[in-house]
Amino acid sequence: MNVEQVLFYLFAVGAIAGCSGVVLSRNPINSAVSLVAAFFFLAGNYVLLHANFMAIVQILVYAGAIMVLFLFVLMLLNQRDEELGPRTFSIAPLLGIFAAAVVSVTIGAGFMSYRNATANFPGEVPLSFGTAEQIGRSLMTTHLLPFELVSLLLLVGIVSAVVVAKRRL
């Protein structure tokens, strides 16, 4: 294994551990911070894929903005342990794990066959790949419409926040 592979497995295991922490931990704050950790590991894997801009935006938007909102809401609600109810056992989580396993095996098999079909996939990407400049160019050309629609989406977000928090229009 070369360094890149070692780092990939390190980040992948970290991301999976973080995501497991989200589901398994009982304290909502622990879940939220586990998710932040998972985002950091994912950002590491983005860098390995030469998606440098995406890696930093991942941290900026998900870890730095969205999860701050989550943490804020958790702190606002401040649910006590007893409000969460007693620990119960149900078959649902086991079924969920089984379903997740089936889905990941299917997707994995699909990717393997795809990789075999495209054996001459270019191994090297140009140096400019994944930089902010490249993303800016594609936002201004190929993806101009989605770029403009994002602003409408954000507008909807602002309006709905006002409606939820103010309860009057």
Question: Which stretches of the chain bind other proteins, using CB under 8 A?
Answer: 3-4, 7, 27, 29-30, 33, 36, 44, 47, 50, 52-53, 55-57, 59-61, 63-66, 68-69, 71-73, 75-80, 131-133, 135-137, 139-140, 144, 147-148, 150-152, 154-155, 157-159, 161-162, 165-166, 168-169
Of 106 and 133, the one with the shorter C-beta distance to other proteins is: 133
- Distance in Å, CB of 30 to other proteins, minimum: 8
> Look-up: residue for tokens 């270019």?
122
- Distance in Å, CB of 153 to other proteins, minimum: 9
Separation CA 52–CA 124 (nearest Å): 15
Of 114 and 129, the one with the shorter C-beta distance to other proteins is: 129
Name the token pair of 165. Answer: 């928090």
Separation CA 19–CA 136 (nearest Å): 31
CB 36 within 8 A of CB 63: yes
Of 87 and 168, the one with the shorter C-beta distance to other proteins is: 168
The dihedral formed by the CA atoms of 63, 20, 85 and 92, expressed in degrees to the nearest 10: 130
